[in-house]
């Protein structure tokens, strides 16, 4: 099967979040199973500087609003880059901490059209055009309109993967003309969204198949709470929507072979290597007392990821004997808030603003507990990487976290982490305190660590599910019956424990561990 993967970011070339990892790992697994894959993404400035690539074709033109814009192709093996300095020669991918780039609609209309030109210039006839998020959301529309009668793309079908409903690509109505789409598509049943044009909505309606990145999130986005205004559209297309939990690259993220950590370890040994990783991490971060439990947060500093929730409990956690580490970048207000915490608690809170891939390996390996207080989480890779490295998560019970973390059960010893029912400082505080109680009991804690490290989070099973989706879209196998969305869940107590009330403190009586 020929699969064209259209993604706005792909690891290791360009990355702001889990989309880059998912696109890269899925493409690699498909290629490993002998399918032909062509990955297409923009030739951003950061890519150009770090991954120079030879010319692979062009120039080609994309007309937008009556103006022709020229592009070129660059290529490294099965990865093709769309070069257009006017749109992609920027310091960041989508915008700065101050806001999105104002010409993002032009940048990603160009990309969605250039995907087809890249396939043609490379002589790659796709069976499936797999589009990722709003930045490639117009490609399914173009496949059925502008390229609908093009014999080069005859028989091709499109699949759209929604990585995060919170980002939809909503722009002024005049973008419709610039995109070169028929005007009659601008209506409530088409790309129109409260008087504006919605790129993600376009993809949802015109794609032959839809996926999102976990089964629980597939149910959640069909509700008003998580659908961000498109829940009704998704319910109409529920028969084409599947939730497939992401995996992680189990070669890249493997503590037994990781070259970024000082000492390797695995669930089959005595885990002494993990202690060595904590020692080095504590030294690099300047923690005054490295014997304290080390609790880390790695991810985008945003409202969705609960950066403010983690910050709200930081002071009390430090006073209760915890070292805290924050790694990530995002909204300027959260960056400033965390940097202020680092200044307020020197030797107890360490903050590194930025995405540091190499350092993140040491953070996952050297931490005792991983914080993930997300308000919503389509899938999340952090909790799976943390489990792989023997760092149990304290995480909100939502989306893909619910599908990948088993809450600790003290009576049976089963479980891989500690889930809390709502994304709030009180719930995080109680769950963190509970995890620290277990952490003090070495035998129990080691059981939680080994439980998590034994789970298979590879891409083998997810990739097999995507192949099924591709075959359904092509009509090669019958489309499976759409699962019935689960009812909305309200806040609930931790599984296997008594109800935890928000006492406002890490202290006080908690659930029994015997």
Does residue 261 fall inside a structural domain?
no
Q: What percent of the chain has pLDDT over 90?
A: 88
- The answer on 280 and 194 residing in a single domain is no
CA torsion, points 390, 395, 400, 402, in degrees to nearest 10?
100
Nearest 5 degrees, angle CA 91-CA 38-CA 141? 80
Show which of 198, 218, 245 is a domain's final residue: 198
Q: Band of the pLDDT at 507, cuts 50, 70, 90?
A: very low
Does residue 286 fall inside a structural domain?
yes
Give the bridge partners for 80, in sequence order.
40, 75
Q: Band of the pLDDT at 17, cuts 50, 70, 90?
A: confident
Nearest 5 degrees, angle CA 94-CA 99-CA 105? 50
- The answer on 176 and 277 residing in a single domain is no
Gap between the Cα atoms of 36 and 4, Å rounded = 8
- The answer on 164 and 292 residing in a single domain is no
**pLDDT of the residue at 350:** 98
- C-alpha distance from residue 97 to each of 94, 331, 425, 494 (Å): 10, 6, 25, 36
Show which of 411, 428, 453 is a domain's final residue: 453
Q: Band of the pLDDT at 277, cuts 50, 70, 90?
A: very high
Task: Provide mean pLDDT across the span 393-400.
Answer: 97
- The answer on 277 and 194 residing in a single domain is no
Task: Provide mean pLDDT across the span 412-423.
Answer: 96
Q: pLDDT (tens digit, 9 = 90+) per residue, 461-490?
A: 999 999 999 999 999 978 666 554 444 443
- The answer on 298 and 156 residing in a single domain is no
- The answer on 185 and 289 residing in a single domain is no
- The answer on 304 and 183 residing in a single domain is no
Does residue 106 fall inside a structural domain?
yes
Cβ atoms of residues 505 and 316 within 8 Å: yes
Does residue 377 fall inside a structural domain?
yes
255's tokens:
């503590």
Gap between the Cα atoms of 358 and 327, Å rounded = 12
Nearest 5 degrees, angle CA 86-CA 92-CA 94? 80
Q: How many CB atoms neighbour CB 406 within 10 A? A: 18
Give the bridge partners for 353, in sequence order.
328
- The answer on 160 and 65 residing in a single domain is yes
**pLDDT of the residue at 494:** 32
Does residue 207 fall inside a structural domain?
no
Residue 145's domain comprises 2-24+36-198
How many domains does the structure of the chain reveal?
A: 2
Gap between the Cα atoms of 374 and 214, Å rounded = 15
Q: How many CB atoms neighbour CB 285 within 10 A? A: 23
Gap between the Cα atoms of 416 and 451, Å rounded = 6
Q: What percent of the chain has pLDDT over 70?
A: 93
Does residue 401 fall inside a structural domain?
yes
Closest CA to 181 of 211, 162, 205: 205
Does residue 328 fall inside a structural domain?
yes
**pLDDT of the residue at 495:** 34
- C-alpha distance from residue 9 to each of 30, 36, 179, 407 (Å): 18, 20, 21, 32
Chain-centre distance for alpha carbon 223? 20
425-439 vs 307-319: helix axis angle to the nearest 10? 50
Question: pLDDT: is 514 or 239 the higher one?
Answer: 239
Q: pLDDT (tens digit, 9 = 90+) per residue, 242-274?
A: 999 999 999 999 999 999 999 999 988 889 999
Strands (E), 163-250: 170-171, 192-193, 196-198, 209-212, 241-243
Does residue 143 fall inside a structural domain?
yes
Show which of 172, 198, 224 is a domain's final residue: 198
Task: Provide mean pLDDT across the span 502-508.
Answer: 38
**pLDDT of the residue at 50:** 96
- The answer on 308 and 405 residing in a single domain is yes
161's tokens:
């993967």
212's tokens:
């999102």
Q: pLDDT (tens digit, 9 = 90+) per residue, 289-303?
A: 999 999 999 999 999
- The answer on 194 and 94 residing in a single domain is yes
- Mean predicted lDDT score pLDDT of the chain: 92
Which CATH number goes with the domain that contains 126?
3.40.50.2000
**In the predicted model, is pLDDT for residue 505 greater than 70?**
no
Q: Band of the pLDDT at 510, cuts 50, 70, 90?
A: very low
């Amino acid at each position: 099967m020929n699969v064209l993967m259209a993604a706005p970011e792909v690891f290791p070339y360009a990355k702001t979040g889990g989309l880059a990892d998912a696109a890269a790992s899925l493409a690699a697994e498909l290629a490993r199973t002998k399918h032909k894959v062509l990955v297409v993404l923009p030739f951003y400035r950061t890519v150009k500087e770090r991954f120079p690539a030879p010319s692979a074709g062009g120039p080609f033109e994309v007309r937008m609003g009556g103006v022709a814009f020229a592009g070129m192709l660059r290529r490294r093996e099965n990865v093709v880059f769309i070069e257009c300095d006017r749109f992609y020669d920027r310091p960041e991918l989508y915008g700065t901490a101050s806001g999105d780039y104002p010409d993002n609609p032009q940048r990603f209309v160009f990309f969605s059209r250039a995907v087809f030109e890249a396939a043609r210039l490379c002589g790659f006839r796709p069976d499936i055009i797999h589009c990722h998020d709003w930045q490639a959301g117009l490609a399914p529309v173009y496949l059925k309109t502008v390229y609908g009668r093009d014999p080069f793309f005859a028989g091709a079908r499109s699949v759209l993967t929604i990585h995060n409903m919170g980002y939809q690509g909503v722009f002024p109505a005049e973008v419709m003309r610039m995109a070169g789409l028929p005007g009659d598509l601008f209506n409530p049943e088409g790309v129109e969204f409260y008087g504006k044009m919605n790129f993600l909505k376009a993809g949802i309606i015109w794609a032959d198949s839809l996926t999102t990145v976990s089964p629980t999130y597939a149910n959640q986005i069909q509700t008003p709470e998580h659908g961000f205004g498109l829940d009704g559209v998704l319910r109409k297309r529920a028969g084409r929507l599947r939730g497939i939990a992401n995996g992680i690259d189990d070669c890249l993220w493997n503590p037994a072979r990781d070259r970024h950590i000082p000492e390797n370890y695995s669930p089959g040994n005595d885990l002494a290597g993990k202690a060595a990783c904590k020692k080095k991490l504590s030294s690099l971060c300047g923690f005054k007392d490295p014997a304290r439990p080390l609790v880390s947060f790695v991810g985008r500093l945003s409202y969705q990821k609960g950066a403010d929730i983690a910050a709200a409990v930081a002071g009390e956690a430090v006073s209760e004997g915890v070292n805290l580490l924050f790694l990530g970048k995002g909204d300027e207000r959260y960056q400033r808030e965390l940097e202020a915490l680092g200044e307020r608690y020197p030797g107890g809170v360490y903050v590194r603003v930025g995405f540091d891939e190499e350092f993140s390996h040491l953070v996952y390996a050297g931490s005792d507990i991983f914080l993930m207080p997300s308000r919503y989480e389509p899938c999340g890779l952090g909790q799976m990487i943390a489990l792989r490295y023997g760092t149990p998560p304290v995480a909100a019970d939502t989306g893909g976290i619910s599908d990948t973390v088993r809450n600790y059960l003290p009576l049976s010893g089963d479980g891989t982490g500690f889930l809390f029912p709502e994304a709030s400082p009180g719930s995080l505080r109680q769950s963190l305190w509970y995890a620290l109680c277990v952490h003090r009991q070495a035998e129990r804690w080691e059981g939680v660590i080994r439980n998590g490290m034994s789970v298979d989070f590879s891409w083998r099973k997810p990739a097999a599910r995507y192949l099924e989706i591709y075959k359904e879209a092509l009509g090669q196998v019958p489309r499976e019956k759409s699962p019935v969305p689960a009812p909305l869940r309200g806040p609930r107590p931790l599984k296997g424990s008594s109800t935890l009330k928000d006492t406002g403190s890490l202290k006080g009586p908690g659930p029994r561990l015997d």
